[in-house]
Amino acid sequence: MTSRKPRVVLGVSAGIAAYKVCELLRRLTESGHDVTVVPTEDALRFVGEPTWAALSGNPVSARVWDGVEGVPHVRLGQSADLVFVAPATADLLARAAHGLADDLLTNTLLTARCPVVFAPAMHTEMWEHPATRENVATLRARGAVVVEPASGRLTGKDTGPGRLPDPAELFEVARRVLARGAAPRDLAGRHVVVSAGGTREAIDPVRFIGNRSSGLQGYALARTAVARGARVTLVAANVALPDPAGAEVVAVTSAVEMREAVLEAAADADAVVMAAAVADFRPAGYRDSKIKKTDGAEPEPIRLVKNPDILAELGRERRAGRVVVGFAAETDDVLANGRAKLARKGSDLLVVNQVGADLTFGRPDNAAVVLGADGSRTDVPRGPKEALADTVWDLVAERLFPGEEAGHASVRG
């Protein structure tokens, strides 16, 4: 471990979203990173050199011909701990994929041996064009993290995928990729599905049966998977958290809706992690109008029917090459109940945590035991939910690529 500031090269190519990257730069410098901004010549038409220089505290150049005595086209890439390109235009992705070196940023990309992240932003047609798709696939195959753009309003009147994700969320990607350091982007090119939050089962238009799940653990799983290079579908039930950069968020309300969204996304998935708290039951009948206290002297009982068990359904399907992970919240006999649930649900892994009024729900940290269908047991001490998330992905990766070096040790028991 060194005590020097982590060095980040922030590449900026010529997209209107460059203005949002000022906020990413500010977050990076304020959290103790030494940032050198390397814009392309045309990017300076959107945000000028004085802004980048003032916010980074470092000189800014787009050209290989400035300060040549310091050989910046080689030095910047060689000494960086992270190169983060935002926004990455279609043109920049193409030049990077083909190894062109016609300005300081593309030279830096060729000399960098550290993790590289691209955050593309462009119009939907450009993002979906086969040329861009191939360039993105090439960059991912080489180990770069290419963050999926967000969907929404683009410049002009059109909407669709192509927006630069929120700068605060891009900062989270940078932080996690830096924290992972030289560890491989072992989920690159993989599609993972994560469910998060808690379902709500409607009683009438204003009332529902719900639970206390905050979605924090599922969102931590989505964010860590993005940093490991995965394409992430996040099926979120009633979560009040910002969309993680790089994850496609599918919002659902009830267990039935969640089942539909998860099974659809799971069709081509390499892993499905059911971190959501899914209601086991729902009211048998939905009342179209609000139940009034004047409807009857005594309140009518609410009859419940069983919801589909999504995890058990995935477990029964048992598709080769797809790893299925469940979560179990237990209040007592944690291990015995966990083993029984693992067998009953037919999943490959079960993350068991002990819950109570003051444990787990809504807290940023978590402790758990991860049980494997192969008899393994991995204890995860109390720590940030993102540490548990990384352990889950280590165990998933072990099962996706059996025989390759494991990220950490688990014991048989």
278 binds ligand CTP (CB under 6 A): yes
Residues 335-354 that bind ligand CTP (CB under 6 A): 341
In the block, residue with structure tokens 């989920």: 187
261 binds ligand CTP (CB under 6 A): no
Binding span for ligand CTP by CB under 6 A among 11-19, 59-67, 322-330, 355-363? 322-330
Token couple for 151: 């969907």
Binding span for ligand CTP by CB under 6 A among 15-23, 54-62, 127-135, 270-278? 270-278
Closest distance of CB 282 from ligand CTP, Å:
10
Interacting residue with ligand CTP among 232, 276, 369, 388 (CB under 6 A): 276
DSSP 332: S
17 binds ligand CTP (CB under 6 A): no
Q: Phi-psi bin for 346: left (phi > 0), alpha (psi -120 to 50), beta?
A: left
Token couple for 38: 């390397």
25 binds ligand CTP (CB under 6 A): no
90 binds ligand CTP (CB under 6 A): no
The angle at the Cα of 363, spanning 362 to 365, to the nearest 5 degrees, equals 140
208: β partners? 202
76 binds ligand CTP (CB under 6 A): no
CB burial class (10 A; 0-12, 13-18, 19+) of residue 288? exposed
| Residue 189 DSSP SS3 | coil
Closest distance of CB 196 from ligand CTP, Å:
10
CA of 199: how far to CAs of 223, 237, 284, 291, 310, in Å?
21, 5, 16, 21, 12
309 binds ligand CTP (CB under 6 A): yes
**Closer residue to ligand CTP in complex, CB, 21/329:** 329
Binding span for ligand CTP by CB under 6 A among 215-223, 236-244, 305-313, 390-398? 305-313
**Closer residue to ligand CTP in complex, CB, 165/218:** 218
219 binds ligand CTP (CB under 6 A): no
Binding span for ligand CTP by CB under 6 A among 224-232, 241-249, 276-284, 290-298? 276-284
87 binds ligand CTP (CB under 6 A): no
Rounded to the nearest 5 percent, the helix, strand and coil shares of the chain are 35, 25, 40
In the block, residue with structure tokens 């983060």: 84
Rounded CA-CA distance 409/353 in Å is 20
Residues 6 or more apart from 336 whose CB is under 8 A from it?
A: none
333 binds ligand CTP (CB under 6 A): no
Residue of 211, 307, 337, 366 marked catalytic: 211
Active-site annotation holds for 211: yes
Strand locations in 164-206 (E)? 191-197, 201-204
Instruction: List interacting residues with ligand CTP (CB under 6 A).
Output: 255, 274, 276, 278, 280, 307, 309-311, 326-329, 341
Which residues are identified as catalytic? 211
